[in-house]
Amino acid sequence: MADMPLECVLMLAYALALVLIALVLERIAGHAHQRSLSVSTDGFTYHSDQDIWKCPKDQHLFPVFSDSGKGKVIYRAPASACNACPSKAVCTDSDHGREIERNVCDIEHGIKQFHRAVSLTLLLLASLILVVELFRIDGIYPRIVLIATLMSIGVFTLRLAEALTTKARLKAE
């Protein structure tokens, strides 16, 4: 780093700080998304192999409605099981059985996509700073460091962009 001009070191530090902020934002968005999904299904377990939910009293909620266009699936437990359950009062007020509605394209996904777009913007800004510095700096060593950092940021940016466009493509289908 002794051969690196102070301006280059500062630009690298700033770009890496933006990358760190993007990483933290991704973690926070993922954590918030998982928490919001678990709130409405607290105590219930999803079994993807059978596409059913299981309640804390071992009753199954089966899919009763599906709209693939909107990405919506409604699962319901048998009314007879829920109405006879001693925990009904704290679980549901419906006489038709407890329901869980899952939306593939729900607002939590929209919020997560928003955070992903903000992360991508930060990564692109970090890349732009490094590209500008690459053209301004003299010397082979600083350029190698800048190019290596740019490539690392580029890989991370492409992965996030791919995940964002894949989800957008699935939503459009």
* Domains of the chain from N-terminus onward: 6-35+108-172 (1.20.58), 42-104 (no CATH)
Spans of the chain, pLDDT less than 50: none
Picking from 122, 94, 91, 97, the residue whose alpha carbon sits closest to that of residue 26 is: 122
As beta bridge partners, residue 45 has 54
Per-residue pLDDT tens digits for 108-123: 567 777 888 899 999 9
Q: What does pTM read for this prediction?
A: 0.61
Chain position carrying tokens 């530090």: 13
